[in-house]
Structure 1
Amino acid sequence: MEEAIVKPFRKIIHVDMDAFYASIEQRDFPEYRGKPIVVGGSPEGRGGVVATASYEARKFGVRSAMPSKKAKQLCPQVIFVYPRFAVYKEVSYKIREIFQRYTDLIEPLSLDEAYLDVTEDKLGIGSAIEIATQIKDAINSELQLTASAGISINKFVAKIASDMNKPNGLTFIGPSRVENFIEKLPVEKFFGVGKVTAEKMKGMNLHTGADLKKLKETELIKHFGKAGRFYYKIVRGEDNRPVKPDREAKSVGAEDTFPYDLTDVEEMVIQLKKLSVLVVNRLQKQELKGRTITLKVKYHDFKQITRSRSFLNGIDDEETILETVLSLLQQTETENVKVRLLGISLSNFNDVKINSIQELPNDQLTLF
C-alpha cells in the first residue's frame, strides 16, 4: 500500500509598511518628526481626505480615508502635508529590490504592501521568520523606515497577522494555530467583510469565525452569495490562493484634484496637458501601450463621469493621448460648470473594447 504524500505547508509573508507616506515625510523632513502629520487633502480644501496619518496623529483617532476636516477636529495641531507620489514610488521600488534578494514570488498589493512566498527562498535560509526579520532589518537600515510582517501558511492569515503588532511588528501564526486563530477572529476583521456585511452577520448572531463555522456551506452561500463559499473554507484555514508575481496592470493613469474649481476650458486643457505627460511617463516606464483612453471629470457637486475611446492599436504617445482626451472633454459639460478633478487613464492592454460612455455614482471620492 502506497503511503499518502503529505504536501508541505507554504511559507507566506505579508509585509506592510508602517504609515508609509507619513513615515517618509518624517524621515525626509526633521521638522515633522514626533509630530502628528497627515498626508492628504487640506481641511481648507473641498472634500479632502486622509491618505496616511502618522502614529502621533493616530493617537487622536485620525485614520486613513477620514475627511480632512474631521481629522482637524480630532487633532487641532495636526500638520497637513501634500503627497509626493514620485518619492513614494521610488522608495517602493527599493523595498521590492530587498524582497527580490529572497524570492521572485512577490505579489505587490500597493506601494506599501506585498505578499512573498518564501517556501523555497533564494538564499536557502529555510525559516520564514528569519527571512521576515532580515527584510525588516534591511528596510530599517537602508531606508530608515519600519515595516510590519505577518507570517503563516496562507495569504489570508499572513495579512491579518501583519496588522496585529504594528508598528514594527512581526507575528507568526503557525500551522497548528491557524484554525483556532480564525475561529476567534471577529467577523469585521475578515478581509472583504465591510460594514454592511458585518452588521448582517451580527444580526444573524454571527460574531466570530467560530460562529461562521457552525453554518453549512449552502447556508453561507444562501446568505452571502459566492463570498459564502470563501467564508466556509477560510474559517477552516483553507486558502490556496497562490502568490502571483505576474499581476498585470489593468490601467495606468494620473489624476489631480485642484485647490480651486476650474471654470475655464483653457485651464482644463492646461491641466490635461500636464496629466498626459505623467501618464506617458508611467506607460513607458512599464513598457505598456493601452488601447482604451479614458477621461475622468468630477464636478464640484461630486458628480463624476468618464468618457472613453478605444483604438485598434496600443497607444503610448503624448500627442494621441492629449488629442483624444481633449476631444472627449468636448463630450462633457464645459459651460457654466465647476470642475474639481480631472484624470486620464489608459487600459485595455490586451483586448479591444468598443467606445463607452459611463456615469459613476457621485459618492466616489478621491484622496486629494
Structure 2
Amino acid sequence: MDNDFPMRKIIHVDMDAFYASVEQLDNPELRGKPIAVGGSSQRGVVAAASYEARKFGVRSAMSSVLAKRNCPELIFVKARFDRYKEISKQIRNVFYEYTDLVEPLSLDEAYLDVTVNKKGNPSATLIAKEIRQRILEETGLNASAGISVNKFIAKVASDINKPNGQKTVNPEEVLGFLEDLDIRKFYGVGKVTAEKMYGLGIFTGKDLKERPLEFLAEKFGKSGSYYYQVVRGIHNSEVKPHRIPKSVGAERTFSENLSSEIFMLERLEHIAEELERRLKKSKIAGKTVTLKIKYSDFTLNTRSKTISYFIADKNLILETAKELLYQEELQNSVRLLGISLANLNTGDKKEKRREEPVLVQLKFDF
C-alpha cells in the first residue's frame, strides 16, 4: 500500500426537494400537500416534486399528465428560478464559510473538499452536520449530506438517509459499503444500464466487483473502466471550484408538433438568440455546432458540424444550424429543437494535470 497518495474528506450536500420545498416555504398553504413544480399543460413536465407527491410515484422529468394521473390531488406550481437562484446563493455563502473548494453541480447540490478547512475542524462529519444546521437557520430549508473519501462515494452516501439526514462512509467502510449497494444506487448507472446489468446477473456492488475489467469494457465500452474503478472505491476527480463547461446550449419544447422545416426556422432563430446571450454572458465561443431534434415519438437525432474558427454570433450559429436542419429529411413531426456549441475556447485556460487516485485503505478520523 502506497501512503504517498492524498486522502480527501469530501462532503456532498444535496437540498431536499429543493424547488418544491422553496414553494412550500414561501406559501404556507402548500405545506404538507403534494405539489409539483412545472407546467400542468398537456405537454408539461415535472421539474420537482414534494415528498408528499413522491409517495404517489410523482418524479422529476415525469410528464404532468402522468403525474396528475398518479396523484389526482397534485397541485402544480409555476417555477420561479430567480427565487431558487437567490436561495442557492445564500446556501453557497454558507459553504464558503468552511472552504473555498466548492464545486456546484446545480442550484441545489455541491461538492465540498474540507480536508483542510477554514474552521480547522478535523471531522468532516461534524462539519456536514454544522453546514446543514446553518442552511436551515439561513433559509428554513433542509439539506442532506454524504461524507467520504471521494466525490463518487459522497454523492452515493448523500441519498442514503434522505430527507434531512446524512451518511458518513469512513475509509475502512468503503469497500463493504459498495459491495452491499444495489447497482441502481451507483451514481452513473441509469435505468437502462441497470436493466442491462440485471440481465448479466449484476445486482449489487459485489456482483460488479467480481466481473473482470475486460468483461465490463466489452459490455459497457468506456464506462466499463469507470464501473471497475468506482466499485473498488477509486475515483480520481478532485473538487473543482471553477468548472469549465464542455458545451453551452439552448432548446425549446413546442406546445404543438412541427411538421415542416419552414416552421422550424423561426424557432431556431429564437434558440440561437438565447444561445448567443448565454455565450456572451460567459464570454465563451466555440467551433462545433450541434442541432438536437426530438421527434413526436421521443426518438432523438443530433447533427453536428465543426468549423475552423470560434463563433458566438447568433447569425453564424443559425446559419450552421440551418445547414444541419436540411442535411437530411425529417423522420417525423418534431416536439423539441435545440442548438449547442462545443469545442469551446476555454481549453487554453485549463491547466491539464494528472489526478492521483485515492486509495481507500488509509485510515484517519472522519
Query: Does TM, normalized by the shorter one, top 0.5?
Result: yes
User: Contact 1:43 / 1:72 at 8 angstroms: preserved in 2?
Assistant: no
Tell me whether 1:42 sits opposite 2:37 in the alignment: no
CA distance in 2, matches of 1:205, 1:268: 45
Structure 2 counterparts to residues 144-159 of structure 1, below 5 A: 144-159=140-155
Distance 1:6 1:248, change over 3 A: closer
In the alignment, what sits opposite 1:141?
137
Percent identity of the aligned residues? 56
TM-aligned CA distance change 1:21 to 1:266, over 3 Å: farther
The CA deviation string for residues 73-113 of structure 1, in whole angstroms up to 9 with x for no partner, is: 21011123343445444544443343233223233333322
1:183–1:235 contact (8 Å) kept in structure 2: yes
Matches within 5 A, 1:252-267: 252-262=248-258
Name structure 2 gaps, 5 residues minimum.
Answer: 348-366
- If asked which structure has higher relative contact order (CA below 8 Å, sep 6+), I would say 2
Partner of 1:25: 23
Q: Deviations over 1:250-274 (max 9, x none)?
A: 2112212122334687864554444
Matched, 1:343 2:338: yes
Q: CA distance change for structure 1 residues 27 and 283 in 2, over 3 Å: closer, same or farther?
A: farther
Q: Where do residues 70-81 of structure 1 align in structure 2 (5 Å cutoff)?
A: 70-81=66-77
**1: distance between equivalents of 2:301 and 2:42?**
25
Q: Which residue of 2 aligns with 1:62?
A: 58
Structure 2 vs 1, CA of residues 159 and 287 (structure 1 numbering), >3 Å: closer, same or farther? Answer: same
2:175 is aligned, of 158, 176, 179, to 179
Whole-angstrom distance in 2 between the partners of 1:221 and 1:328: 33
Taking structure 1 as reference, are residues 292 and 193 closer, same or farther at Cα in structure 2, changes over 3 Å only?
closer
Q: CA deviation at 1:114?
A: 2.1
Residues 261 and 221 of structure 1: CA distance in aligned 2, closer, same or farther (over 3 Å)? closer
With the length of structure 2 as denominator, give the TM-score of the two structures.
Answer: 0.78
Inter-partner Cα distance in structure 1 for 2:220 and 2:326: 43
Q: CA deviation at 1:181?
A: 1.6
Return the match for 2:113 from 110, 117, 132: 117
For residues 329 and 230 of structure 1, do their structure 2 counterparts lie closer, same or farther at Cα, with a shift above 3 Å needed?
closer
Once residues 308 and 61 of structure 2 are traced to their aligned partners in structure 1, the CA distance between those partners, rounded to angstroms, is 38
Q: CA RMSD in A?
A: 3.5
Deviation at 1:120, TM superposition (A): 1.0
TM-score by length of 1: 0.78
Question: Does 2:180 align with 1:161?
Answer: no
1:257–1:8 distance in 2 versus 1, CA, 3 Å = closer
Q: What is the aligned counterpart of 2:234 among 225, 229, 238?
A: 238
Alignment correspondent of 2:360: none
Partner Cα distance (1:308, 1:222) in 2: 27
Structure 1 runs not aligned, ≥5 long: 353-368
